[in-house]
Amino acid sequence: MLAGGAIAGLVLSSATMSSGGAHALEVPRAVAVSAAPAPGEQQPRAVAGAADPGATATPAGVTSVPVTAGKARGSGLWGYAGDVQTRTSGSVFSYGLSLSPADGALWVTDSAKIIWTSNSLACSLAGGKVVGSFCYVGQSRVLKYGLTTEPDWALGEYRGNGGYGSPATRANAGVGANYTPRADALVLDGTTLPGGRLNGVRGIAATDSGGAWAIDADFAEGALGGQGLAARVLTGDGSEGPSFGKTTWPSGSSWTNRHHPEAFDYPVGIARLGSGNLVATSSTPELLKEYREDGSFVRNILLTQPAGSAGAGDKGYRSPYAVAADPSTPENDVLVGYTDPGADNPSFIERVNLDVCTTEEATTPVGSFRDRCEVLDRIGVGTLGIGSGPGVNTSDAVTFAIQVDPSSGDIYVGQRQGAVRVFATDGSPLGGFPGYGVGTQNGMLQNVRGIGFDARGLLYATTSEGASATRVQIFGRTPDAVTGLAARYSDASMTEVELSWDAPSVAEAAGQLPTRDFVIEMSTDGGAQWNLIDRPLSLDTTAAITGLNPETVPVFRVAAWNEAGNGDAARVRPELPPSTLVIEQLGNGLQAADPAEPARFPAKTDVEFRYVVTNEGPAPVTGIEVSDSVLGEITEVVAPEGFVGDLAPGEAVTLVASGGALPAGAYEAETIATGTSQGEPVSARTQWFGFGAVLAATVAKTGNGLLAPTEENPARVSADSEVAFAYRVTNTGNVAVGITGVADSELGAVDTVVSPEQFSGRLEPGATAVYTAAGTVGAGSYRNDVTVTYAEADPGSSGAPDAEELTATASWFGEGIASDLSLRTTGNGVAAPLAEEPVWLRVDAEVAFAHLITNGGTADLTIDAVTDSVLGELALPADFGGVLEPGGSVVVSATAAQLEGARVTEVTVTAHDELDRALEASDRWHGFGVAGGISLEMTGDGVVAERAESPRDVVASATTSFGYTVTNDSNAPVTLTGVTSFEVGSGTAPSGFTGVLGVGESVEFSGEAPAPAGAWAATGSAVGLDAAGLAVEAHHEWHGFGVAAQLQLVQLGAGVAAPSEAEAVPVAAGSEVSFRYVLHNSGNTTVALDEIADTVPGEIQAPDDYSGVVEPGATVEFTAVGPVALGSYVAEVSASGVETRLRSPVAASASWHGIGVAVPGPTPPGPTTNEGTGVPLAATGGEAAQALWGGAGALLALVGGALLASRLPRRTPGAE
């Protein structure tokens, strides 16, 4: 059974069939299918081998598989592919059919049947009922079968191995299953249509819009209940369009109106033209009537021909019955079939060119017209049936169906009971169809009334009208022959053959159905008998046939199968398999094909190679060539003589080549022998493995991991340090060695082995053993040597005689070195390594750092980095290469601004010496950023008076004690150099003051000076040096006011001052004297007057604008009136108050002397005199006072300015 392309054992069917002795092994050509032609181009036949459409088999299509009814055998033949059921029960007369160009639906008519008898018994026996004067059998219908959305044209009953199953009863079979089942089909009998019941629809044509026109041949039989419409216009959904067609007209005679657009007389056939128009037959008037799809009338076409046109018996009458359009002709030809042509006359169909016509007027009815069109051909004369004459209803010469195969142009004509006849486009007969006979079985046809082709080229035919087997049969074409069939043995055992072939293409438009399977048959007797190889249904184009008898030569044939049958088989005989070559290679007579057992020789041994090539297959091998992967092409032949490159089965050839000196180590050569057998390349391969033995060892010595084999490049190590020596002994040969001793020239025998563990002294090729020892290297140069002795560990294994003991040596040169690194850092040229001794600098002052790096060792030092703890990594000088020689120095410079307060800069230099030992040196530099200065506070009498508007009041000329407090506001000590005031003089430092003022400390200097009268100011200054040596100073002002308070008082009586008795002023005794008191503030402060009082007069009056205070330099005049008694008179006045700054009391006084003189009576007018005493009376008014101020100033000062005054209450400034 074939599974996955392979057959475990050959399985044969029991059916056998003679091939008729045909033994040809040629593979048939592929069957070609041409595409649909362009309009006007003659369409070639669909497939090869189908010259007779009725053929059911070809010689190449015959197989050993049992025949299935209706299935064709051979490529391109029509075979039964399925059917569509049209009957459910009762009498069904399947008649016309049409395939919709819009949706592929299948339209079929059921014509029913009228039997012209009114005998009820006879009618009942026929299955009908009497209607009026005739018997009506069945019920006329139109059926529409929808095509599935995605039809599968591979559907069918094929089961594999060339066998088919039986279709289900009353179900659409094969590819017919793509159509709606009869139970679900659209069925119209007219009872639901506006045009009424269908009487006897026959011809039907599907329209471009998806509907159909059905021709009701019995439309005029009113007894059946229809409305007498000949052309029933149906839509795709089953509704009715503008149906039409009448037989009786107003003239009373249908014949006289036969050319009317709606006049029909026994219409049967209808066809859709390429333009979409429809043309229907009207039999009795010998007309075709053409309409547009919308029902509008186009024309009448008269078919009548001159008598004798078709022979001597032809009377020229043409009653059309069937009509078809030829889609393969651009002229829009129609093919017309007729009723019986008359007794003994041959029937035929005519090709009419509807585009070449002449129009003539017809008078039936008046105003009508008709065309006479060109008849291009009469087809079927002598092939179609012979007429029986009028009145014979069983004539075989009536043409019921015509259809043109769109893919080939072949014309299919169906007459009464005979087979369908097929004609080529040119009218030549091609044979009958189908070739399976007349009957009701699958593939057989009878009473064909309708023929059609779908878009794929499948043929549809109604068959067996009125019988229970009535239906629509579908025919498809069988596959083309497979091509490229090839067979070859899988190997030399010849028990398995691999088959391969190319699947044929499918001519879908020509009616070919998809391939379903490939059937394989085999013959072991040259093709006399064939046996089926059982395999699952498969479209694989390869197969492996196993279990073959190598003593026989099989022949295979392969054919493609589909639902219509099988295509032509291709045959092939497998060729003999190519032979097998074998090659053997020897070196110095030794075969060494196993890499685990090479042929061993001492290295550089000369080797001769021999190559033996043998043909172990059943076929000759030609063009033999031998190539060695090391030596190249081998051409020298030892035997046989005269060898030219060919070997018969079982023959051998020997070649030779010199391999030269065998290299050390493994040797591998691959040799390939190639040739050609049975047209295919063949080859053989072999390998030869050798080994060239080498005995050798080396030693490498390191000290502290360093190799130092030359004196020019010694290993530098720390002087007087212990060095770890390692002796690495390696077997550099390719055979094992035994170590017998390791000796150091300075340290003696070395016995310590660190690798591998438990070392036995045996070293395999490539292996290493490490010995160790330790020794001290002093200062200066050092050398020691090692010697290793060894011998072959397995004597004789190298393929050479035993060797003497061998040695390996190595030297190590060293030099003991010492290293030292130092660093000195200065800032602004000063080293400051101690925090308590920083370099004092003002904040933001620039510090120039210099870092002196010195190599105090004996070897070069590489400076890695110089890092400042504040500035980060410092750049080395641009001209410094980075390496300090012994005793060398380099200065790394940097600058930075001094920060406030203490700053420590730690600089670190890192380096490494030639031994890559890390060295480090560091230094510190301490600086202090001085910020801030001193402040000064000056006080007088302990009071700060730094504002002129708020001075310190003191008594003028009094001594003021001054204090100067100096504070160090900086972050470092300050040395004071002087505290002074220009107005006061130098301050005196307190006892014990050293002159240095610590951070935050204060010191008070002192001084004194008399205060001058009035406002005055003194500026104190303190100067010194900060820690950075820069001058600092501070200043402060002190403001004072020397208070000098003084009042002057003058008294005038009667306008005259009389401060002494000697100056007494005589006045009339008892008279009222006006006194004036002139008070003057001669000090520098305002005086608030408490009181002014006179001892004699009464109340003293102050001026109206007196406020109670007397400003410096101001004068206030008071007044009083009082009597002067007889005799001496003294009035004393005093004024007292407080100066407003220090609140010190201040006072002034005055007196006035007068003499009261008795006045005896009125005195006549005369000069003003003091008549009683002879002393002139005192003048009154300001003149006297002015005189007094000017002349008596000294006197007033002596007497303190005391004046007589009466008491006056004190008034404060601003009081009312």
Predicted confidence band at 3 (pLDDT cuts at 50, 70, 90)? very low
**Residue type for position 870:** V
DSSP character string of 755-766: ESTT--SEE-TT
The string of pLDDT tens digits covering residues 722-773 is 999 999 999 999 889 999 999 999 999 999 999 898 999 999 999 999 999 9
Instruction: Say how far residue 1148 (Cα) sits from the centre of its chain.
Output: 114
Domains and CATH numbers, the chain: 83-146+185-477 (2.120.10.30), 581-693 (2.60.40.10), 697-817 (2.60.40.10), 821-930 (2.60.40.10), 934-1015+1035-1043 (no CATH), 1047-1198 (2.60.40.10)
Quote the pLDDT of residue 49: 39
Backbone phi and psi for residue 964, each to the nearest 5 degrees, phi listed first: -120, 105
Contacts of 112 (CB under 8 A, 6+ apart): 91, 93, 136, 137, 138, 139, 140, 199, 200, 218
Q: Which of 1100, 1105, 1133 is nearest to 1202 (CA)?
A: 1133
Quote the pLDDT of residue 551: 87
Beta bridge partners of 461: 451, 473
The separation between the first and the last C-alpha atoms of the chain, rounded to the nearest angstrom, is: 151
CA distance 324 to 803: 112
Residue 840: is its pLDDT beyond 80? yes
Quote the pLDDT of residue 673: 96
CA distance 574 to 884: 92
What's the mean pLDDT in 924-936?
92
Beta bridge partners of 890: 853
CA distance 870 to 863: 20
Quote the pLDDT of residue 130: 95
Mapped to the 3 state alphabet, what secondary structure does 169-197 carry?
CCCCEEHHHHECCHHHCEEECCCCCCCCC
Quote the pLDDT of residue 47: 46
Residue 991: CB atoms within 10 A of its CB come to 5
What's the mean pLDDT in 1175-1193?
37
> Under a CB-based contact definition with an 8 Å cutoff, are residues 1011 and 1017 in contact?
no
Burial label for 885, CB within 10 Å (0-12, 13-18, 19+), is exposed
What's the mean pLDDT in 406-430?
91
Predicted confidence band at 26 (pLDDT cuts at 50, 70, 90)? very low
> Under a CB-based contact definition with an 8 Å cutoff, are residues 924 and 825 in contact?
yes
Q: CA torsion, points 382, 346, 402, 155, in degrees to nearest 10?
A: -50
Residue 24: is its pLDDT beyond 80? no
Residue 36: CB atoms within 10 A of its CB come to 13
The string of pLDDT tens digits covering residues 196-240 is 999 999 999 999 999 999 999 999 898 888 888 999 999 999 999
The string of pLDDT tens digits covering residues 973-996 is 999 999 998 888 898 999 999 999
CA distance 976 to 775: 72
CA distance 422 to 439: 18
Cα→Cα distances 284→247, 288, 711, Å: 12, 11, 136
Quote the pLDDT of residue 246: 87
The string of pLDDT tens digits covering residues 471-515 is 999 999 999 999 999 999 988 888 999 999 999 999 888 999 999
Predicted confidence band at 719 (pLDDT cuts at 50, 70, 90)? confident
Backbone phi and psi for residue 1183, each to the nearest 5 degrees, phi listed first: -60, -40
**Residue type for position 1010:** P
DSSP character string of 59-92: GGG--SSPP-TT-EESTT-EEEEEEEE--SSS--
The string of pLDDT tens digits covering residues 541-557 is 999 999 999 889 899 99
Lowest mean pLDDT among 23-27, 111-115, 673-677: 23-27
The fraction of the chain above a pLDDT of 90, given in percent, is 73
Beta bridge partners of 6: 3, 544
**Residue type for position 947:** R
Quote the pLDDT of residue 426: 94
**What is the CA angle 348-352-353, rounded to 5?**
160
The mean pLDDT value of the chain amounts to 87
Cα→Cα distances 22→249, 301, 526, 1041, Å: 72, 57, 9, 161
Quote the pLDDT of residue 797: 63
Name the pTM for this structure: 0.56
What's the mean pLDDT in 22-49?
31
Residue 707: is its pLDDT beyond 90? yes
Predicted confidence band at 1192 (pLDDT cuts at 50, 70, 90)? very low
Quote the pLDDT of residue 6: 34
Residue 1169: is its pLDDT beyond 80? no
